[in-house]
Amino acid sequence: MCSNPTTHMNGSAPHHCRSRWPRLAALALLTGTLTGTLASPRAAAAQWAVRAEPTAPGATASCVLESERQPLSDGYQKTWAQIVVDRQAVRVTSPSKLDPGDADIGLVVDDGPFVPMDEVAGERTAVFKTRYAPLVDDFKRGLKVRVQLRFWPTWPKTSTHSAIISLLGFTRAHEGLADCRTP
């Protein structure tokens, strides 16, 4: 509420009487643009992509759905994390070695519960199989997923490190995964 209702000579209200809403709306729009939360449909679709996964000679090829790579620290250097979804599992991959010793590698969709991984495959991939269907459903309903990883070496022990991956465009891309046919 304006405590002094007088106007300036040009007829405008004093600065402290003007509405803050236009400035707050502009700030929210700018913040959303900078953080990627207001991504356009084209940009959202680019965050998730379906691709044919390479296989060994003579094996049947399969399709996977991949998120964009998100940078994070492994406690010693910069690395990245990426989610890969196929028809049987959700995987989180990184070029850094994972440390499953403390059972604190997992995913959190929006503000939901922590979903621990089932196993580490090949030292660099966290695998989620037992909660595959509910996790994919959460991805379809969610806006973002926090990937929580712990990296090796365990001495000196480092803490967990997280990356946020947008789920915008996941549902449409997942429909493409169902339609994907490999040669």
Q: What does the pLDDT look like over 34-44, one tens digit per residue?
A: 444 444 343 44
Q: Length of the chain in residues, anyone?
A: 183
**How many angstroms separate the CA atoms of 106 and 31, rounded?**
28
78 and 21 in a common domain: no
106 and 21 in a common domain: no
- Residue 86 within a domain: yes
Number of domains in the chain: 2
The CATH number assigned to the domain holding 77 equals: 2.60.40
- Residue 5 within a domain: no
DSSP annotation string for 47-82: TEEEEEEP--TTSPPEEEEEEPPEEEE-SSSEEEEE
**How many angstroms separate the CA atoms of 112 and 127, rounded?**
19
Q: What does the pLDDT look like over 110-141, one tens digit per residue?
A: 999 999 999 999 999 999 999 999 999 999 99
- Residue 7 within a domain: no
Three-state DSSP class for residue 178: helix
**How many angstroms separate the CA atoms of 145 and 140, rounded?**
11
- Residue 122 within a domain: yes
pLDDT band at 53 (very low <50, low <70, confident <90, very high): confident
31 and 98 in a common domain: no
88 and 25 in a common domain: no
- Residue 157 within a domain: yes
Residue 112 belongs to domain spanning? 47-54+63-179
Three-state DSSP class for residue 77: coil
pTM over 0.85: no
86 and 141 in a common domain: yes
Q: How big is the chain by its Cα radius of gyration, in Å?
A: 22
